[in-house]
Amino acid sequence: MVSISHLLVVLISTSLFLFFLHKWRRSHSPPSRKRLPPSPPKLPLIGNLHQLGSSPHRSLQSLSRRYGPLMLLHFGKVPALIASSTEAACEIMKNQDLIFANRPQLSIPGRLFYNNRDVAFAQYGEYWRQIRSVCVLHLLSNKRVQSYRRVREEETSLMVEKIRKLGASSKAVNLTDVLTSMTNDVICRVALGKKFGLGSAFKETFAEFGVLLGVVPLWEYIPWLSWTRKFDGVDESIARVAKAFDEFLEAVIKEHRVRERREGDGGDLDFVDILLDFQRDNASRSPVEDDTIKAIVLVKILLL
């Protein structure tokens, strides 16, 4: 995969002339009427990408000390407003939240989450409001969370018993593995209805999914570098991971449709049951399609 560091040296060296040309053109152009926040000097093409360094959070903190709690950076063609104070964050997240409500439309999450059908990456609008309402009222209500108390208690008891047996045999206990396994079992039962013993191959797919979400390809911010997509392997990885998860979630949905479990029949409803019930009861006006169910459940199981 091509990372930011691979091409920065070449980009910076080829941008120096354009940088001085840009400064000359700015000095001879009329002043802008827009009142923009303070911004560090940027290079043509790459903007302020070269100033992020290996620890972006520290670099942004250092820049904020010089340019203030609200500053404008340019990551290639993408402008980014950086807030680094409580007052600025409150103004953006609370007082002016509707203006800043939209999510950036990134290509990698878009392909992994069924064209942004989940809550986290969906564009702010009617669809997002409906999906958020479904999640808050049907999946994450206090009553629903309390209904999974038995699952949490059972899995916690199994974890304690496992630790006890390992301790009795004088074996070292890897608490990270034990806690991860317990969390995996709880979330699988709550979201999918049963435990899934994920094999090593699927665990690697999980890990790769997380890595892909953290990938920042240069072509996302610098369009003229889109030709590098043919060589960085990102597209192939996305296609492979997306296919593996889609096949898994499609099988889960089909299994739930066959058994059609209901609370009235003495069975506990998991997330897939709830979403399928909502889809069936609101067939004529529901935004909850199969891809929506997969995207929402995928966000949940990624917490494993």
Domain final residue pick, 100, 118, 136: 100
Tokens standing for 31?
A: 């002043």
Domain final residue pick, 62, 82, 100: 100
Q: Which pLDDT tens digit goes with each residue over 101-124?
A: 887 788 888 999 999 998 888 888
Q: Which pLDDT tens digit goes with each residue over 151-177?
A: 999 999 999 998 888 878 777 888 888
Q: Confidence band (pLDDT; 50, 70, 90) for 1?
A: very low
Q: Please give the pLDDT value at position 261.
A: 54
pLDDT at 6 exceeding the cut of 60:
no
**Which structural domain range is residue 154 located in?**
127-301
Distance between CA 129 and CA 122 in Å, rounded?
10
Distance between CA 269 and CA 119 in Å, rounded?
21
Total count of residues recorded for the chain: 304
Q: Confidence band (pLDDT; 50, 70, 90) for 52?
A: confident
CATH of the domain at 194: 1.10.630.10
Same domain for 284 and 193: yes
Residue 258 falls inside a structural domain:
yes
Same domain for 190 and 60: no
Q: How many CA atoms lie within 13 A of 32 on its CB side?
A: 6
Residue 107 falls inside a structural domain:
no
Same domain for 186 and 38: no
**Contact between residue 173 and residue 287 where contact means Cβ atoms under 8 Å apart:** no
Same domain for 79 and 31: yes
pLDDT at 233 exceeding the cut of 80:
yes
Distance between CA 302 and CA 211 in Å, rounded?
12
Give pTM, 2 decimals: 0.76
